[in-house]
Amino acid sequence: MFLKLPQKVILAGVAIAALLLGGAELRAAGGRDCDANAVVYCGALSQAELQEKMRAGDGRRSGAELQGLIYNGGWGITQAGIASRDTVIGSVRKDGTVWVGGEMVATGALSSGRQFMPGSYKQGDLWVRPPSVSFRSSELPAFVHMPDGRFRWAIIQSCGNPVRAQPVTRVVEKPVTRVVEKPVTRVVEKPVTRVVEKPVAVVQRPVVVQAPPVQPLPETGVGEALGMAAGTNAVYWTARHFRRSRASLKNALRQHR
């Protein structure tokens, strides 16, 4: 039978226990369920008490029987896990969620017990059902195993009943790496000034050739003209006489031979 306690009382008890123990051993405030449905009779309020009952029994059932139900019952619970520092104080709520330190770490919880209740199904020697079927209060303190900050299993402290649930996937925001674009140095090609050779217009200027000065003809009168004609006539007759004399000489020489 579950003891119904106000949530404020439970949280206050957990805080006081943590201060008193200084973190050396986990203890939880709350009542004990010493009834036929409790897997561990009267439960356990500290890790040390739970380990001892699992080893030596709870006064009604042997340690071997408890180990068979809890360690070998398919819950994933181990002796090392119960003693681990990764096992912390949390709570299982009637809505099927599991909480640690004010943060929801699992959903869809299924609790267990020795007795059948409507809505239960059998797993080994225990009956499994959602907390909404078996819980009388809104939440119950529990040992919650959280290796690497991720839910694995829980054990209700008041009765030692194992609990399984689906761990909540935590969204870890990765730091955003900002890509700083470096200014791009652009090479601006300056326009090349091309020297275009313009065709040279060669203008051939006409060469002015100066003609030699025209020598004026000598001035001749009528007398000079007649003199020149007479001279020319004398030359003519002299030459003719010479040719005839030459011919006469040649004939004379022929005859003499």
CA 168 to chain centre: 27
Whole-Å CA distances, 124 to 38, 70, 75, 224, 254: 15, 10, 11, 176, 184
- The pair of three-digit structure tokens given for residue 30, joined into one six-digit string: 């709350």
pTM of the model: 0.58
Collapsing DSSP states into helix, strand and coil, what is residue 163?
strand
| pLDDT per 10-residue tile (average), the chain, 257 residues | 46 40 44 95 97 97 97 96 97 98 97 96 96 95 97 98 94 70 71 67 62 60 58 68 74 71
DSSP state of 177: -
Task: State the pLDDT at residue 253.
Answer: 74
Decide if 145 contacts 90 (C-beta within 8 A): no
Task: State the pLDDT at residue 134.
Answer: 93
Q: Which residues contact 145 (CB under 8 A, 6 or more apart)?
A: 77, 81, 84, 86, 87, 151, 152, 153, 154
Spatial distance between the Cα atoms of 243 and 248, rounded to a whole number of angstroms: 9
- The pair of three-digit structure tokens given for residue 85, joined into one six-digit string: 């520092």
